């Protein structure tokens, strides 16, 4: 008799991503102790030895709740009992820019980068599911951030650190990961932040998506995830064109900031031009989680509808200003 169907689905998803990694290289599971990442850790602990590779687990203690250290220690024990070796926790300080969610994410990835580099891991596996993907698409739609946001989270990506991150469970729903945990005898931890309506993602999860399911019928999350997959190829192609254009148009600027030549920028197709402007703002330091289409549209008017506007303020204490045939992006007071 084979494993429970939910367990089999999670294991198969992990097995597929392991098959594409260098033979014998270590893989880490990022595990919060929640159902999604716990199911991921259990599947990795099962599949890695069968693939002839070492596997470890890392949990991040954000220090945002009372008893977070004890909770992290408990997650480490669970990962070790599963057979993930090494298993450990890393305490981080959440004090970055862009709001608490962005700051926590930045701190978490920085810690995972260091752990992966120290252990020589080929990849870090993340437990995001189809439901997370649907929530991400809805939040991007609400921000009006364009096709990139609507294409959701990629199956895999590399950070500037070079660390490779993979999301094996993006095709599986949250009910499957909970079912897998139950079948494996794992007791997930439900983070109180996941039901706190102060967070936009929580409101989408517990209010917006249920209303859509009730109004439009079941399968909304799956449809949103499918839409994300279809848009990703388009977004990747357009961003490749924009990256080439940005390289051609960027010019050196004395002092701080990023500068882009206006000559040639206005002639680009709008789908490419707005991406170039977004790249320039991000390179100058605007937080990606708060830079929205409304900001990019305002900057574009400095290029295509110039009427003597002084500047455009951007998230992160930045501004864009048109000056001497260039569009300058930098800190307030520096451009």
CATH of the domain at 282: 3.30.465.60
Q: What SS3 state is found at 314?
A: strand
Both ends of the chain: CA-CA distance in Å? Answer: 68
| Each residue's pLDDT tens digit, 31-44 | 999 999 999 999 99
| Each residue's pLDDT tens digit, 239-265 | 999 999 999 999 976 666 899 999 999
| Each residue's pLDDT tens digit, 26-77 | 999 999 999 999 999 999 999 999 999 999 999 999 887 888 899 999 999 9
Residue 318: inside a domain: yes
How sure is the predictor about 174, in pLDDT bands with cuts at 50, 70 and 90? very high
Q: Looking at the predicted structure, is the pLDDT value of residue 8 above 70? A: yes
pLDDT the model gives residue 256? 67
Average pLDDT (152-170) is 93
For residues 10 and 138, membership in a common domain is answered with yes
**Kind plus residue range of the DSSP H or E element containing 275:** helix 270-284
Average pLDDT, rounded, for the chain: 91
Residue 266: inside a domain: yes
Residue 245: inside a domain: no
> Could you list the residue range(s) of the whole structural domain that residue 67 is in?
5-216
Distance (Å, whole) CA 149 – CA 141 = 7
Answer with the residue of higher pLDDT: 103 or 314. 314
Q: Look-up: residue for tokens 């995001």?
A: 128
| Each residue's pLDDT tens digit, 283-330 | 999 988 788 888 999 999 999 998 887 899 999 999 999 988 999 999
Strands (E), the chain: 27-30, 55-61, 87-91, 123-125, 156-158, 164-166, 250-251, 258-261, 312-314, 318-323, 326-331
Distance (Å, whole) CA 165 – CA 36 = 16
For residues 68 and 208, membership in a common domain is answered with yes
Range with lowest mean pLDDT among 1-15, 55-69, 194-208, 238-252: 194-208
Alpha-carbon distances of 211 from 184, 195, 203, 204, 249, rounded to whole Å:
32, 17, 11, 10, 45
């Amino acid at each position: 008799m084979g494993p429970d169907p939910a367990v089999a689905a999670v294991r198969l998803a992990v097995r597929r991503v392991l098959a594409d990694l260098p033979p014998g290289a270590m893989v880490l599971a990022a595990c919060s102790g929640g159902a999604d990442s716990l199911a991921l850790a259990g599947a990795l602990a099962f599949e890695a030895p069968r693939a002839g590779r070492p596997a470890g687990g890392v949990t991040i203690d954000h220090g945002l709740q009372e008893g977070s250290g004890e909770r992290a220690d408990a997650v480490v024990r669970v990962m070790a009992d599963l057979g993930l070796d090494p298993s450990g926790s890393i305490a981080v300080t959440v004090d970055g820019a862009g709001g608490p969610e962005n700051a926590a994410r930045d701190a978490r990835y920085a810690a995972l980068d260091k752990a992966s580099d120290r252990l020589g891991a080929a990849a870090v596996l993340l437990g995001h599911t189809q439901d997370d993907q649907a929530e991400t698409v809805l939040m991007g739609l609400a921000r009006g951030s364009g096709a990139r946001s609507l294409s959701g989270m990629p199956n895999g990506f590399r950070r500037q650190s070079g660390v490779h991150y993979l999301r094996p469970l993006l095709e599986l729903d949250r009910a499957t990961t909970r079912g897998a945990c139950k079948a494996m005898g794992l007791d997930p931890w439900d983070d109180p932040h996941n039901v706190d309506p102060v967070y936009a993602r929580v409101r989408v999860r517990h209010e917006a998506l249920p209303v859509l399911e009730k109004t439009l019928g079941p399968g909304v999350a799956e449809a949103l995830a499918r839409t994300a997959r279809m848009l990703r190829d388009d977004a990747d192609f357009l961003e490749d064109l924009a990256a080439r254009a940005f390289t051609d148009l960027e010019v050196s600027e004395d002092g701080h900031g990023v500068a882009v030549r206006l000559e040639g920028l206005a002639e680009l197709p709008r789908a490419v031009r707005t991406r170039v402007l977004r790249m320039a703002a991000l390179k100058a330091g605007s937080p990606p989680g708060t830079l929205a289409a409304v900001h990019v549209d305002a900057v574009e008017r400095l290029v295509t509808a110039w009427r003597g506007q002084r500047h455009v303020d951007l998230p992160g204490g930045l501004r864009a200003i048109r000056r001497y045939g260039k569009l300058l992006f930098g800190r307030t007071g520096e451009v």
